[in-house]
Amino acid sequence: MDTLHIDGQVVLVTGAGSGIGHAIARACVAEGATVHLADVSDTVHDAAGKLAEESTGAGTVASHVCDVRDKDAVRVLLDDVVAASGRLDISFLNAGINGVPSLLQPGGAIDELSFEAWRGVMDVNLDGLFHSLQHSARVMKKQRSGSIVVTASTAGLRAEPRVSYPYVASKSAVVGLVRQASLELARFNVRINALAPGPVVTNIGGTGPRPAAAVAAWEDSVPMRRWGRPDDVAGLALLLASGASSWMTGGIHVVDGGASALTQIPS
């Protein structure tokens, strides 16, 4: 059996400047991988610099500014990774946004939502994933090896009133894209799986203080009675990326403090 170790492997993480993507990148560096962090924000260079400083092992770090909505930029990103590191073993396709009112908030109802708000989320969460998946697959099919891990969401697996229409719709489509791609990529020795995190404390809801009532309501829906931390998700991400999951592909794997085990929110 292979182990979780991914030392020496070449890894790409999109949306790596913050939150879950950053925690995944940090875990990969700690394991001794060569990690390429990509993000739309140029703060990714500082984030990567800090990871390099913290690193005590053999892991190395590179950073790239890339907007996953831009298909040409994504093609260049993948070409740059291969030019710098010779190959791509693991691709964490994680970039995503929300930022649109939920069903429970003003402006979030289906007849109030603007098409621009809808498209804004779809552009990143679905079209951005399409570009990133297409170019990761291009490289890995040629190599006849690789592992792709996509960050979906529990909001892609069920209706969720505390989340926006385009977020639920985009993550539901992400689930279908991962399953469909697994059929094709298996023939090329390339695996693809998705993480489906529940509520995790990151910057996706903004960097300001979070309303206490909303925080508590989410906590009540999690049997473990706390929000997830990005590191809680990174462990599953590494498992799915590594040879320890060598016969797993096309799967959607929840990491949510037990929330999916519930059929109703406890009082």
Binding site for ligand NAD (CB under 6 A): 14-15, 17-21, 39-41, 67-69, 94-97, 124, 128, 151, 153, 197, 199-200, 202-204
- State the minimum distance, in angstroms, from the CB of residue 146 to ligand NAD: 20
Q: How far is the CB of 21 from ligand NAD (least distance, A)?
A: 5
Rounded CA separation 158/191 (Å): 25
**191 strand-pairing partners:** 147
- 19 or 257, CB closer to ligand NAD? 19
| Structural tokens at position 212 | 């206490």
Q: How far is the CB of 139 from ligand NAD (least distance, A)?
A: 18
Smallest gap from residue 168 Cβ to ligand NAD (A): 11
Nearest approach in angstroms of CB 29 to ligand NAD is: 17
124 or 139, CB closer to ligand NAD?
Answer: 124
Nearer to ligand NAD, 141 or 219 (CB): 219
What six digits make up the tokens of 91?
């691709």
Whole-number Å distance between alpha carbons of 37 and 13: 5
- From the CB of residue 181, how many other CB atoms can be counted at a distance below 10 Å? 20
Structural contact between residues 31 and 4, judged by C-beta atoms closer than 8 angstroms:
yes
Q: 66 near 38, Cβ under 8 Å?
A: yes
**Residue type, position 168, single letter:** V
- Report how far residue 136's alpha carbon sits from residue 150's, in angstroms, rounded to the nearest whole number: 11
Per the document, the length of the chain is 267
C-alpha span between 156 and 150 (Å, rounded)? 12
Q: How many helices (H) and strands (E) does the chain have?
A: 8, 7
- Percentage helix, strand, coil for the chain under 3-state DSSP, each rounded to 5: 45, 15, 40
User: Least Å distance between CB 67 and ligand NAD?
Assistant: 5
Active site residue 165: no
Which residue among the candidates 90, 98, 135, 167 is catalytic per the annotation? Answer: 167
DSSP per-residue letters across 216-242: HHHHHT-TT-S-B-HHHHHHHHHHHHS
Catalytic residue ranges: 167
